[in-house]
Structure 1
Amino acid sequence: MKPKEPALTEDELRSILPASFRNGNAWVGPPHNRVRYFLASDLNMDKLTEASAYFFVLGKVKSPRPLHYQLALGLEIQVSERMDTHLLWIKDKVYIKPLPQYLLEPKFWSEYLDCPKSCPYASDFQLLRESGLMRRSAQFSQEVPCEHSKLWKCAMGFVYSYVALIAHESDFAIAKSHKLVPGSLEFHEWKLFVDRMLRGGKLYGQIAERFTYGELDLARLNTVMMLHRPLRYLSPWGGDSDSFFPGHRFSPLPALCAAVATVLFSSEQAKLVMTRLKENKGLVLVVYVTCIPSPLYCSRC
């Protein structure tokens, strides 16, 4: 039996985790003594998951394009520490979350991201992870989903996106210049990390659904969210929680139209129509662009 590796010390955790994090609206503190709370915040994609049914409208099922290609397209890299904004693009910008040091540490994966033995789904977690079938299993039980699998799939998907973003040494240089990777990391070390993560060819089967898509259109995403929760967008107290970036201000007219559209599309007949439209993605895009002109979704402050 393989001996268990010693746990990461407090100093080691301090060296690979951020200086502080927010746990709720009021509490700010160090992450090294609240690691699991920190991970629940740092790997949180709940808001973006609300739009998962419309991912096919927001982007394509493919890996993100390398960083050198992003720049060649004229996109400016904007650093964002929120996971739910990673690889969202709008106009001439693409938002990218830096790869944290803790995801480069194997002991951190086994200690904090792997399913612990105390979890009732630990054996299922290990079996699905080794077989590369985790992405197909939203939960291990019909009654209670395994929270550890949720964090694992997000972390693996995030790493998968970086494997695609940093393919060449030129991509690595761009990542270093924008502080997207730790400053101490060297390109040969990055290649070893990629080789370890891709070993076995099962990485894709362990990632969250969001990461099966590449870059997502932020303009369309905000419109989808407005359609999904129109009353929130009509509320004057919405603030930052209602849009992915506070710099986007929504006009009340399209929000009101969205509210009416949501009511109309709540019938079973409309749901049947939407189901049939989804089978013809090209048609959906035509309807989407025609019904909601892009200049209406928001205006710059």
Structure 2
Amino acid sequence: MAPCRLTPPFPPDQSLVELSAITHPSIVRTAVATVILPSQDLDAYLAHELNTTRLSCLHKYLWLAGLPVPARPLHRQRLMNRAIVITERADEHLVWHEHRIFIKPMPAFLLCHSFWETHLCSDRDLHASACGMLLSYAWLVAYPSDFAIAAAAGLLPPGVTWQRWTSLACAALGALDLATMSDVAPRYRYGELRLSRLDMLTRWSFLLLPPAAPPWSPRRLVDGYMSSSTWYTAFFERHFGWLVVGFVYVSVVLSALQVGLATDALAASPHFQAFGLGLTLAGLAALFLALAAMLALWLVLFWYHLLSTIAFDRRTRLQREKAREKKKKPTSL
């Protein structure tokens, strides 16, 4: 049986952007520090622009980071005191952390029927990712208030009106199989995803992912899902802030013990004396171990970043030298 031909999720008359009006970036930096020139390799750019492979690999465990329900509209995000932070990576789209939610602006080419037919309908994975991105905006922009927020934040291409957006969204929702969600990439079967849980899943992915998945690397353990800061101070504040709270409680208990030992009844009790001695020694041991662990972790991170930077710099220079030598060689006729 011949495979079913993929089609755009909305008819030609619902297009909001003309093919001639679509402009791609001049250069795009990838996650592995390489660059893509859309004018020279449009297929690679589209694959990068809509790529959600990291989340698709973790699809079996995404229930730990979110629920398989539609994302909340933008006005509800504001009601929950979440600030909209722009990201241009599709695998960070609808990921939230504390009072921030990361949202990728709607690519203009997803609103053009001709572009879908020419570039997006020839690849099933690319088509599923594009349908998922379009579906996510149907979730986010459901009311006129959501449309006003999206327009003000620059999430929608200029010139799109509420009426035309509603018509396109209705057509897309009617074309997609919302009961099985088989038309969209696995990532979009979930709505909002919690960043702290994605960090945990990423760090332990070597135990979760099948052998066919992309290989695990130490950088995943260090950076997690999203590396939000390159400062050691911010790293330790984020991961060891709970120690401060723990030591506050220990200080309160030790102060209470000191007050108790000042009383005649408790000072004469050998059981209370033993309890106070044990708790004091335990508190000192915990403080020493915590400081030693932080120092050891700092040394590990320092040497890891130093050695990985040296290796990356050497590898990049070798690649550039090879490219330079390749250009010098005369082409054979």
Letter in 2 for 1:27: V
Name the CA shift for 1:107/1:32 in 2 (closer, same or farther; >3 Å). farther
Gaps of 5+ in 2: 1-11, 13-17, 208-215, 240-293, 295-333
Letter in 2 for 1:150: D
1:232 — aligned with what? 217
Residue 195 of structure 2, aligned match among 215, 218, 223: 218
For the Cα contact (< 8 Å) 1:68–1:171, is it kept in 2?
yes
1:207 to 2:192 alignment: no
1:184 — aligned with what? 159
For the Cα contact (< 8 Å) 2:138–2:169, is it kept in 1?
yes
1:122 — aligned with what? none
Gaps of 5+ in 1: 6-10, 116-147, 255-295, 297-301
Residue 24 of structure 2, aligned match among 3, 6, 17: 17
Higher helix share: 2
2:125 — aligned with what? 150
- Mapped partners of 1:201, 1:38: distance in 2: 25
Q: How many residues align?
A: 208
Mapping 1:132-151, distance limit 5 Å: 148-151=123-126
**Displacement after TM superposition at 1:96 (Å):** 0.5
Mapping 1:45-64, distance limit 5 Å: 45-64=52-71
- Mapped partners of 1:168, 1:110: distance in 2: 29
Q: Percent identity?
A: 29
- Mapped partners of 1:33, 1:12: distance in 2: 18
Letter in 2 for 1:196: A
Q: Cα deviations across residues 40-98 of structure 1 (Å, max 9, x unaligned)? A: 11011122223222111110010101000011011111000001100000111100111
Name the CA shift for 1:163/1:247 in 2 (closer, same or farther; >3 Å). same
- Mapped partners of 1:160, 1:201: distance in 2: 9
2:117 — aligned with what? 110
1:159 — aligned with what? 134
Q: Cα deviations across residues 245-264 of structure 1 (Å, max 9, x unaligned)? A: 3427766xx9xxxxxxxxxx
Mapping 1:280-291, distance limit 5 Å: none
For the Cα contact (< 8 Å) 2:199–2:225, is it kept in 1?
yes
Taking only aligned residues, the RMSD between alpha carbons, in angstroms, comes to 2.9
Name the CA shift for 1:198/1:227 in 2 (closer, same or farther; >3 Å). same
Letter in 1 for 2:62: F
What secondary structure sits across from 1:205 in the alignment?
coil
- Mapped partners of 1:158, 1:44: distance in 2: 10
- Mapped partners of 1:229, 1:163: distance in 2: 35
For the Cα contact (< 8 Å) 1:81–1:97, is it kept in 2?
yes
What secondary structure sits across from 1:158 in the alignment?
helix
For the Cα contact (< 8 Å) 2:87–2:93, is it kept in 1?
yes
**Displacement after TM superposition at 1:206 (Å):** 0.6
- Mapped partners of 2:74, 2:95: distance in 1: 14
For the Cα contact (< 8 Å) 1:63–1:164, is it kept in 2?
yes
- Mapped partners of 2:92, 2:145: distance in 1: 24
**Displacement after TM superposition at 1:198 (Å):** 2.0
Mapping 1:37-116, distance limit 5 Å: 37-115=44-122
Letter in 2 for 1:87: L
Q: Cα deviations across residues 96-144 of structure 1 (Å, max 9, x unaligned)? A: 11101000000011111112xxxxxxxxxxxxxxxxxxxxxxxxxxxxx
- What TM-score does the superposition give when structure 1 sets the normalisation length? 0.62
For the Cα contact (< 8 Å) 2:56–2:185, is it kept in 1?
no
What secondary structure sits across from 2:150 in the alignment?
helix
Structure showing greater Rg: 2
For the Cα contact (< 8 Å) 1:65–1:164, is it kept in 2?
yes
Residue 27 of structure 1, aligned match among 11, 21, 35: 35
